[in-house]
Structure 1
Amino acid sequence: MTLLNHDQVAEAALADWRLLQGALHARFRTGTFAVGLELVNRIGALAEEMDHHPDLDLRYPHLNVRLLSHDAGGVTGRDVRLARKISHAASDLGINADPDALSVFDLALDTPDADRVRPFWAALLAAEDKGGDEVHDDSAAVPLLWFQASGAQEPRQRFHVDVTVPPEQAGARIEAALAAGGTLVSDADAPSFTVLADPDGNRACICTVLERQG
């Protein structure tokens, strides 16, 4: 199966969905728990029909849906087809999507030696240690933890938060954080990521799937 990139997903014109951290995400404003359950049941029937099963998170008053092909390691045409069917099911129930509310939360740990610390964090989070620069739970029950290469010098900020948002929402999220007392540390890598800091100097990044410009 061929993995789809941001441009290919955009060409699919999935108005309800956004590509975030290698998966399609949507939030449907169900209004009531009962309506949310009805949508879950319809999605369940579609999933069985296609033999392709999304991650569902039903809350009051919305339903979060995550779609990816685990066997391919990302988004494929199969996900696009199921996304369209899910949007149609939601529309039939009079449910609107809210893509502006979407975001994915990750943690980054600065370390000079990821191989030394990764086994500990994999054990702590009950996640499989697959090597490389991250530890993640395929079910997304806990945030992805990735390891950013850094020098050994002290002091350094050990952890920082990465918040991945739809590209069209990055500017508003950054402005809101700045208005709430934050400062801009660097936008040299925007729109891929923009580094901000809280009033105490703790850093965080607003990220998108777009590549750095220039």
Structure 2
Amino acid sequence: MQDDVKPTRQEISDAIAELGWRLILGAIQTHVQVPSLIAATSAASIAATAAGNEGDRHLDIDVRSRQAVLRLQDAQAGATTGRDLRLARQITEALVGQGFLTNPGTDAVVQELEIAIDALDIAAIRPFWKAVTGYVDEPGPLDSPDGGGALVDPLHRSPTIWFQQMDAPRPQRNRIHFDIDVPHDSAPARIAAALAAGGTMVKDSAAPAYWVLADPEGNEACICTWQGRD
């Protein structure tokens, strides 16, 4: 596959599944579980070296005391490209060659959190949320001509904020909800855990793209995957 090609979500998932990476919100991610901070730093160095100069604007690494979290995405396009898939393989092979394993996570599954804000006039409220959070526009084309694209943390550490168009006021209903984006093969267990914790299934007609659940007082959250979106 050519480096500048933007594969479908299914093609991305198929290419990285056996490598221990998962597709979440347009980026591919993996965890490298380690016994110490020094080992995490070593894994990060191996990954960065394997990517080389091509990793610039593609590879992000979050080093923790028990893991290194690797994330690949074309920062300019805001999407996973053929280059990212190739780099994932290069990085995985380099890590495995040094005794490290890439996986979607055990105690801490790779995931992304989004905050969805319902609005009647997205263009009116979006500048406020951009200013108050210090966020930047999500790379790539905006979702709509009125500037309704998502806002992202420039350091990729805090939740993405996106805006959902309302057609009428909805009193007595929360207008901000969480979207928890998880690997497609982790969704069933996450949903089961939420239901066992007192939640209810509000809507599953859009599954496997997302399921809408609610807590015992009706506050909603969505479990989301990449599937069903191509």
Same fold, TM-score > 0.5, yes or no: yes
Structure 1 residue 3: Cα displacement: 1.1
* Residues 121-146 of structure 1: per-residue CA shift (max 9 Å, x gap): 00011123572232123431321100
Q: Which residue of 1 is the match for residue 170 of structure 2?
A: 153
* Residues 16-35 of structure 1: per-residue CA shift (max 9 Å, x gap): 11111010111111222111
In structure 2, relative to structure 1, the CA distance for the partners of 1:104 and 1:119 (3 Å cut) is same
Q: Which residue of 1 is the match for residue 83 of structure 2?
A: 78
Percent of residue pairs identical: 37
Q: Which residue of 1 is the match for residue 118 of structure 2?
A: 110
Query: Structure 1: which 5+ runs fail to align?
Result: none
Structure 1 residue 13: Cα displacement: 4.2
Decide whether the 8 Å contact of 1:20 with 1:165 is kept in 2: yes
Cα RMSD after superposing both structures: 1.9
- Counterparts of 1:17-56 in structure 2, within 5 Å, are 17-52=21-56, 53-56=58-61
In structure 2, relative to structure 1, the CA distance for the partners of 1:117 and 1:174 (3 Å cut) is same
In structure 2, relative to structure 1, the CA distance for the partners of 1:41 and 1:207 (3 Å cut) is same
Decide whether the 8 Å contact of 2:199 with 2:213 is kept in 1: yes
The amino acid across from 1:27 in the alignment is H
Structure 1 residue 49: Cα displacement: 4.1
Work out the CA distance in 1 between the residues paired with 2:118 and 2:66.
Answer: 37
Q: Which residue of 2 is the match for residue 62 of structure 1?
A: 67
Structure 1 residue 37: Cα displacement: 0.8
Structure 1 residue 51: Cα displacement: 4.7
Q: TM-score, normalised to structure 1's length? A: 0.92
Q: Which residue of 2 is the match for residue 140 of structure 1?
A: 156
Query: Structure 2: which 5+ runs fail to align?
Result: none
The amino acid across from 1:32 in the alignment is S
* Residues 70-126 of structure 1: per-residue CA shift (max 9 Å, x gap): 122211111011111111122123222331511111100111111110000000111
- The count of corresponding residues between Structure 1 and Structure 2 is 213
Decide whether the 8 Å contact of 2:32 with 2:43 is kept in 1: no
Runs of 4+ in 1 over 4 A off after TM superposition: none
Q: Which residue of 2 is the match for residue 198 of structure 1?
A: 215
What is the SS of the residue equivalent to 2:136?
Answer: coil
Q: TM-score, normalised to structure 2's length? A: 0.86
